[in-house]
């Protein structure tokens, strides 16, 4: 069997089209343009590329993009001032602090400085806490895991009652993905570097979310036939046939796993585009709330 390919680019494009229409409506009816402020500290090339893509998409959807690119040695007080400035700016509906931050900055203090109603990344401790509890509503949930859920839904995989295995326990992907799946009534298992008999655990998964950052780590004989496989990994491996000398692959051995899985996301073109699409959606939701249009 060859798995159904989950086309993240197409799903992201449809989310973005809707955001574009909603942004146009907000402008026409309320003279409000959804605005996203990005905050980049230092010169990590991957972070620079991600922030650039987020800014570009914000503009493409007719929204307002503003950004601060700050030196790697900025003091915490200076950084907090920048964040508070965006917090007070009525043109800004969402603030994104690109992670990771340099080690001398206290991530929790920095993320706490984002006003809750502008926390479009869902990383404010109060939003995280609400996500981690029953019957609480975070104002926003993190973009990569919420994009994973949209992709799972896009192929009609039933989440309720499914066994979902999450590889990785990061604050950005693994943990929030686990809570989102749990709130949809999946039975969840979170695996990490100390998990024993990992292949046996993965074999139980009706839904697998791989977010560990190791190229081609998940093998075909770990996969339950028909499972839905969501690959969050973005890993560069050497490839002499490419001009850059490398190419991007996921955490899953795609070529072999696709012969066993029921549905699978490719890398690139799977989860990656969804992260940006969900960020755009969150920013637009924030602007809708600002004019009283959304809960």
Q: Site residues (CB under 6 A) for ligand GUN? A: 96-99, 121, 143-144, 172, 275
As measured in angstroms, the least distance from the Cβ of 99 to ligand GUN is 4
As measured in angstroms, the least distance from the Cβ of 143 to ligand GUN is 5
Separation between Cα atoms, residue 222 and residue 181, nearest integer Å: 21
Strand arrangement of the beta sheet that strand 207-210 belongs to: 4-5, 263-264, 228-231, 207-210, 163-167, 187-191
121 among known catalytic residues: yes
As measured in angstroms, the least distance from the Cβ of 58 to ligand GUN is 14
Secondary structure (H, E, C), 165-217: EEECCCCCCHHHHHHHHHHCCCEEEEECCCCCCHHHHHCCCCEEEECCCCCCC
**Which residue number, 262 or 269, has a Cβ lying nearer to ligand GUN?**
269
Parallel/antiparallel/unpaired status of strands 246-249 and 207-210? unpaired
Q: Which of 16, 55, 98, 281 is catalytic?
A: 98
**Which residue number, 257 or 270, has a Cβ lying nearer to ligand GUN?**
270
As measured in angstroms, the least distance from the Cβ of 50 to ligand GUN is 7
**Which residue number, 140 or 222, has a Cβ lying nearer to ligand GUN?**
140
Determine if residue 216 is left, alpha or beta; phi over 0 gives left, psi from -120 to 50 gives alpha, anything else beta.
left
**Which residue number, 47 or 195, has a Cβ lying nearer to ligand GUN?**
47
Separation between Cα atoms, residue 63 and residue 199, nearest integer Å: 45
Q: Which of 16, 54, 55, 224 is catalytic?
A: 54
As measured in angstroms, the least distance from the Cβ of 142 to ligand GUN is 6
Q: Which of 121, 206, 231, 253 is catalytic?
A: 121
89 among known catalytic residues: no
Residue 153's alpha-carbon distances to 24, 95, 218, 252, 290, in angstroms, are: 27, 27, 22, 20, 29
| Residues 171, 195 contacting (CB under 8 angstroms) | no
**Which residue number, 172 or 230, has a Cβ lying nearer to ligand GUN?**
172
54 among known catalytic residues: yes
Give the active site residues.
54, 98, 121
């Amino acid at each position: 069997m060859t798995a159904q390919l989950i086309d993240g680019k197409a799903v992201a494009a449809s989310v973005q089209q809707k955001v574009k229409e909603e942004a146009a409506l907000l402008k026409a009816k309320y003279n409000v343009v959804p605005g996203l402020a990005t905050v980049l500290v230092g010169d990590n090339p991957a972070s620079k590329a991600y922030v650039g893509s987020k800014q570009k998409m914000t503009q493409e959807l007719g929204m307002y993009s503003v950004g601060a690119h700050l030196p790697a040695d900025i003091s915490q007080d200076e950084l907090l001032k920048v964040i508070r400035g965006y917090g007070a700016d009525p043109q800004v509906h969402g603030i994104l602090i690109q992670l990771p931050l340099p080690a001398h900055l206290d991530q929790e203090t920095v993320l706490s400085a984002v006003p809750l109603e502008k926390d479009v990344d869902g990383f404010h401790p109060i939003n995280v806490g609400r996500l981690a509890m029953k019957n609480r509503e975070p104002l926003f949930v993190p973009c990569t895991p919420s994009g994973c859920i949209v992709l799972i839904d896009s192929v009609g995989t039933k989440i309720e009652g499914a066994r979902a295995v999450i590889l990785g326990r990061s604050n950005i992907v693994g943990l929030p993905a686990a809570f989102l799946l749990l709130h949809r009534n999946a039975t969840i298992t979170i695996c990490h570097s100390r998990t024993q008999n990992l292949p046996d655990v993965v074999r139980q998964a009706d839904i697998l979310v791989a977010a560990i950052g190791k190229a081609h780590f998940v093998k075909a004989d770990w996969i339950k036939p028909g499972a839905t496989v969501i690959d969050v990994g973005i890993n560069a491996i050497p490839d002499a046939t490419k001009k850059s000398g490398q190419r991007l692959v996921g955490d899953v051995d795609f070529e072999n796993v696709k012969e066993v899985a029921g549905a699978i996301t490719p890398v690139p073109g799977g989860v990656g585009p969804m992260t940006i699409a969900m960020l755009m959606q969150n920013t637009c939701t924030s602007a809708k709330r600002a004019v009283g249009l959304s809960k």
